[in-house]
Amino acid sequence: MKASNTYTSYLNSMKNYKLTQGRKDYQAPFAEGFEAIYDKAKKEEITLSNAKDFLKNLSSSELGTLQKYSGLADNINIDMLSDEGSYNLLMHDKEQYDFNSDGVAEVGIGKSILPIPINMPTDIRDTYISVMNSLSDKDRMRSSFLTLDPARLISTFNNEPYTPTKMDYNYLKTAVQSSLNPTGGAYTSEDTKVSIRAFWDAFNASYKGDKTQQKSEKRSGTVTQFLKDLHTKGAVKFLADFNQKKIDELVKEFEDKLIKKMGDSPKALQEIAKLVEDYKTKLIKEMQEKMENEKNQKGELTSHFSGDSVVQMLIAMQKEKSTEPLKELLA
């Protein structure tokens, strides 16, 4: 499968990356079927430009295997896929890539934060992979939060171009220090601090590059507030609050449309109140299911969300806005 020099360099590093046991256990039942499809794609020298055509020639059973192996919730609709999403569907986790440099890797119709950022210098990336491989799954999950790039979320929420943050030594050092010594009302649990110290001790011992402190990029007020909220609340509470805010917005929009359609007579308002309550219940159920699916599909510990999980959920909800229930109930 042909690739650019940048992608090839990333692949050479990722060959050494070890998946978490949870992820391997999840994919195991579908691995044999996936490998057969992967070998077929490799023989046909599938690229970004022809991956979608290759998918169109697969059986519904083979598409089902790709869906399950990748952890996608819905059946694959090839017509809705981008070139990147089509190609990454045919790749192992370690070979998936953010080809259009928008901060996420499209896998099918899903969007995923890569476990190893592409905006890391090669020497940092290789050391980071080696260190992550040496940690327990629990420590890996908690330490992976250090490479969360808030610039990606800010660009999504504000509809601005994404400018990736360079994940160099100074960035990691600053992220570690902020987590171990939180300020301004932020909070890091003792368990997380233990994991971050384990990561940083191993990284410092392994990294042989330049550790000279250089001027760090100044974070915007929006990014600073985002990180403060995330650290203060913790990932689960942060995500729950975001869910609630999104639900409130959708419910208000739904109610306004119903009033416009049905009027504001006492009888109409009584009926509207019931429809709104049913809609709200449906939204809450859908978002809870998404959160559970995310944990199960990624093989995460059930009591925590990783930074990757939070980012994926926020991006998905920001883009999707759960409009389908609204269409159904207004039909």
> Residue 322: which residues within 8 A CB-CB, separation 6 or more?
246, 250, 283, 286, 287
3-state secondary structure of 133: helix
pLDDT tens digits for range 131-172: 999 999 888 888 888 888 877 766 766 667 888 888 899 989
As beta bridge partners, residue 110 has 107
Task: Supply the pLDDT for residue 252.
Answer: 83
Distance CA 90, CA 39 (A): 10
As beta bridge partners, residue 106 has 111
Overall pTM > 0.75: no
Check residue 299 and give left, alpha or beta (phi > 0: left; psi -120 to 50: alpha). left
As beta bridge partners, residue 111 has 106
Q: What is the domain partition of the chain in residue ranges?
A: 5-112, 122-223, 235-330
pLDDT tens digits for range 169-209: 998 998 898 888 877 666 778 888 999 999 999 999 999 98
pLDDT tens digits for range 94-138: 999 999 888 888 999 888 888 888 889 999 999 999 999 999 988
What does the buried/exposed string (b/e) look like for 4-28 if buried means 16 or more CB atoms within 10 Å of the residue's CB? eeebeebeebbeebebbebbeebbe
Say which residue, 213 or 318, is predicted with more confidence: 213
